[in-house]
Amino acid sequence: MLPAPFRTVVAGLLLVTGVARAAEGVCPQLALMADAPELGSSPELTLTADDADLIRDGVSSLRGAVELRQSDKVFRTEALQFERAANEVRMEVESVFRNPELVIRSESARFNLTDETGTFFGTRFTLPDRAAQGGADTLRLSPDGNADLSGARYSTCAPDAETWALEASEIRLDHERGLGTARHARIRFAGVPILYLPYFQFPIDGERRTGLLFPTIGQSDNTGFDARWPVYVNLAPNVDATVTPRYMSDRGLMMMTEGRYLLREGQGLVGYDVLPQDRTQNDESRDYFRAEHRGLINDRLAVDIRFAEISDQRYFEDLGGEIDLSAITHLERSARLTYQAPASYTLLALVQDYQTIAANLQPIDEPYRRLPQLRFTALTQGSLFNTRAGIRSEYVNFARADSLEGQRIDLRPFLRLERDEVSRYVVAEVDYRYTGYQLSDASTGDQTPDRALPSVGVESGLRFERITDGGGLQTLEPRLFYLYVPFRDQSELPLFDAGEPDFDFTQLFARNRFSGDDRVSDAHHVALAATSRLLDPQSGEVRWSASVGQLYRIEAPNVVLPAADLPDSGATDFIASLDYRLSRRISASVASQWSPDQRRFDRSRLAVRYREGGRDLQLGYRYRQDLLEQGDIAARLPLFGGFDAVGRWRYSLARNQSLDLFAGVGYETCCWAFNAAYRRYLASTDGRYDSGIYLQLELKGLTRIGGGLEALLPGASRSDLP
């Protein structure tokens, strides 16, 4: 017998399949408008009919294909009485009324043409702008164009396939505010009542409105029964918030909140999630706070502020729900100001701190705080004989508990020669670099160590073009780079931010083998690379692009990080990449690092993608010698009758271990959507897995149109805002 969560999914899919057959196709709820007359604009009252009689007291009786027009209103019926004195029309037979907001078909109606008020009995109506329809025992139009309904029903489904409907004793449609208000409302799905609301508001236009979003319900090994029902709050045109109660049967009730704002010169968010009592952790309170702001203070000054904090190291593993979150080791807190004078100089000021969340991380492995970091770069606007002068400079105060701390200043004036012509270019740079320290711990020896060294680098390239036999434009761009940096003993210098990045195309042309400024590698080498492209002469689209490069060390460098091996002299590994667009549907990319000495690939990356219409298939492969070998498959496929399938599988070939498996199916019409997904992923660094099933039902017109399976995908935002 199937486990309970799987039985829930199967039952949901059977329900979806049953109601889907009646709801397939385009949006037929607008069929009510098929015979609705076109609107006019003339303020004059016009009446047409096959036959007309003038009865006593100025009452006219019109019969046969009667049509009344005035301004943006029109009636069409088979019989109508018009009272001239009261400027009122009465219809005791079926009629169709239309104005810019509504189309109303009624069994009988009365309408005052002076104040534009009316009462319609036994009605069916359509909101053209919202693609919604409904009915009411009585519908009253007020002078401001709003509608009050008694014994009402509202839905965005077709009248003959009404999968869901909102039924209420009273509904008010406020077109000016774009809101519908229902009292004593019941929501039915497939004829079954699923929710009662004594008071409920829903949007009747395309604007964002405060209200309930569609819920997500699931079952997880880590949380038990897991239900989230977001509430969207539209505070202002540029400010909104989402409040999401999340109930987890194993852990308790959690509140997840996130507010967003959009200013004229900036944007940001503030979020706070709290689980007051985690039943699995002795009722311990757990929370997560985050805030971000990015924007401009003026035309030249930009600000970037980030802050994040969690209550404990296992928060993301237990409550985050993503393999990427469970792999986070630090949360950044920083404030950055950047002042830029165009084509002249840039000044950056940064204060940066971290919260360490990785378990078993030693204090010596934690990053240093920068309290503060100041960086100034400048370049002369004019040039003399194609040569410009500039400077790169930096001051940093490094702080870390129970560690060597200190200040560092780095000054790097330079002269740069640039000459770029159509077929060739050359860039040469000579600089002199001085780095000095003021250390806090005298026991380390010299408190003020420093380093000074010059360097010279020259890069030159050629550009060739030819027309291929197929009419394409092919380019060939060889590049040559030479770098010389003399050796300086740097073993007495501290290591605040030094590291050695991956060897890739960028490193072929880098002026320093290390990241950070604590170590500058001595260098005497030449890099040679070439890139070739094939372009479509009509569209300019790059059909394929290939690059290959290698670095040749004339002398082996002597500067090295602790516990690292010194590179040898001679040729390094080859770096190569290829991006190929086989057709408009299929593209592929390959990148690799080939070791000629070992005759093997030390690093490889392969990706293939197929896209056509709603079909999207992606295959990926990553390999690093003695570190990882992973495969990645992702697909989205339309199935039949409105069904879509989505899946992703990340697998470690090196460890024969699944990292993340996601599979989902969704059904969507123009009035409702249902999604079901299963996920099993590596939830923690100690190898613990979590798995769960999630269900989602969306009734369009009550929540945002859209969302779908994307809301359940790994890494998706938890709030699909309307």
- Tens digits of per-residue pLDDT, 79-109? 999 888 888 899 999 999 988 888 999 999 9
Region 365-381 average pLDDT: 93
Work out the burial of residue 608: count CB atoms within 10 Å of its CB; fewer than 13 is exposed, 13-18 middle, 19 or more buried. middle
Query: Does 266 have pLDDT greater than 60?
Result: yes
pLDDT band at 13 (very low <50, low <70, confident <90, very high): very low
Q: If DSSP codes are grouped into helix, strand and coil, which group holds residue 632?
A: strand
Contact 69, 99 (CB under 8 A): no
pLDDT band at 11 (very low <50, low <70, confident <90, very high): very low
- Tens digits of per-residue pLDDT, 510-536? 999 999 999 999 999 999 999 999 998
User: Distances from the Cα of 638 to the Cαs of 15, 259, 573, 635, 668, in angstroms?
Assistant: 19, 35, 44, 10, 11
pLDDT at 714: 52
Q: Which residue has the tokens 């711990």?
A: 441
Region 422-446 average pLDDT: 89
Q: Which residue has the higher pLDDT, 722 or 54?
A: 54
- Tens digits of per-residue pLDDT, 190-214? 889 988 888 877 777 767 777 777 7
Amino acid sitting at position 502: D
The DSSP symbol for 642 reads T
Range from 51-60, 365-374, 420-429 carrying the lowest mean pLDDT: 51-60
- Tens digits of per-residue pLDDT, 577-587? 999 998 889 99
User: Distances from the Cα of 619 to the Cαs of 297, 585, 588, 592, in angstroms?
Assistant: 44, 14, 9, 16
pLDDT at 361: 67
Residues 6+ apart with CB under 8 A from 437: 406, 407, 408, 409, 448, 449, 450, 493, 494
Residues 6+ apart with CB under 8 A from 150: 136, 137, 138, 139, 169, 170
Closest-CA residue to 79 (of 54, 52, 58, 98)? 52
Region 452-461 average pLDDT: 96
This prediction has a pTM of 0.77
Region 595-613 average pLDDT: 92
Q: What is d(CA 57, CA 53) in angstroms, rounded to the nearest whole number?
A: 12
Q: Which residue has the higher pLDDT, 174 or 408?
A: 408
Residue ranges with strand state E in 99-203? 103-106, 108-112, 117-127, 132-141, 147-155, 164-174, 179-189, 192-203
pLDDT band at 150 (very low <50, low <70, confident <90, very high): very high
What percentage of the chain has pLDDT greater than the value 70?
A: 88
Mapping DSSP onto H, E and C, the string for 285-344 reads EEEEEEEEEEEECCCCEEEEEEEEEECCCCHHHHHHCCHHHHCCCEEEEEEEEEEEECCC
Query: Does 317 have pLDDT greater than 90?
Result: no
Question: How many Cβ atoms from other residues are within 10 Å of residue 503's Cβ?
Answer: 18
Region 2-9 average pLDDT: 38
Question: Exposure pattern of 478-501 as b/e (b: 16+ CB <10 Å)?
Answer: ebebbbebeeeebeebbebbbeee
The DSSP symbol for 93 reads S
Q: Which residue has the higher pLDDT, 161 or 372?
A: 372
DSSP assignment of 16-85: HHHHHHHH-SS-GGGGGGTTPPPP----S-EEE-SEEEEEGGGEEEEEEEEEEEETTEEEEEEEEEEETT
Q: What CATH architecture applies to the domain 4-46+86-207?
A: Sandwich (2.60)
Closest-CA residue to 26 (of 490, 508, 669)? 669
Q: What is d(CA 464, CA 245) in angstroms, rounded to the nearest whole number?
A: 62
The DSSP symbol for 508 reads H
Q: What is d(CA 341, CA 493) in angstroms, rounded to the nearest whole number?
A: 34
- Tens digits of per-residue pLDDT, 657-690? 999 999 999 888 888 888 888 988 887 767 788 8
Query: Does 549 have pLDDT greater than 50?
Result: yes
Contact 300, 341 (CB under 8 A): yes
pLDDT at 55: 72
- Max CA-CA distance within the chain? 116
- Tens digits of per-residue pLDDT, 467-485? 998 888 999 999 999 999 9
Chain length of the chain: 722
Region 382-393 average pLDDT: 92
pLDDT at 9: 37
Residue ranges covered by each domain of the chain: 4-46+86-207, 362-558
Query: Does 284 have pLDDT greater than 90?
Result: yes
Q: What is d(CA 722, CA 709) in angstroms, rounded to the nearest whole number?
A: 16
Q: Give the best-scoring range by mean pLDDT among 16-20, 24-28, 44-48.
A: 44-48
Query: Does 37 have pLDDT greater than 50?
Result: yes
Q: For residue 376, give both structure tokens.
A: 């100034």
pLDDT at 86: 83
Q: What is d(CA 576, CA 569) in angstroms, rounded to the nearest whole number?
A: 21
pLDDT at 330: 85
pLDDT band at 395 (very low <50, low <70, confident <90, very high): very high
Q: What is d(CA 107, CA 97) in angstroms, rounded to the nearest whole number?
A: 11
Query: Does 546 have pLDDT greater than 70?
Result: yes
pLDDT band at 444 (very low <50, low <70, confident <90, very high): low
pLDDT at 35: 54
Residues 6+ apart with CB under 8 A from 538: none
The DSSP symbol for 371 reads E
pLDDT at 517: 93
pLDDT at 545: 96
Question: Is the peptide bond between 478 and the residue preceding it cis, with omega within 30 degrees of 0?
Answer: no
Q: Give the best-scoring range by mean pLDDT among 21-25, 683-687, 697-701.
A: 697-701
- Tens digits of per-residue pLDDT, 158-189? 888 888 998 999 999 887 777 888 899 998 98
Q: Which residue has the tokens 């057959």?
A: 21
Q: What is d(CA 695, CA 225) in angstroms, rounded to the nearest whole number?
A: 11
Question: Exposure pattern of 418-444 as b/e (b: 16+ CB <10 Å)?
Answer: eeeeeeebebbbebebebebebeeeee
pLDDT at 5: 39
Q: Which residue has the higher pLDDT, 17 or 424?
A: 424
Region 300-327 average pLDDT: 81
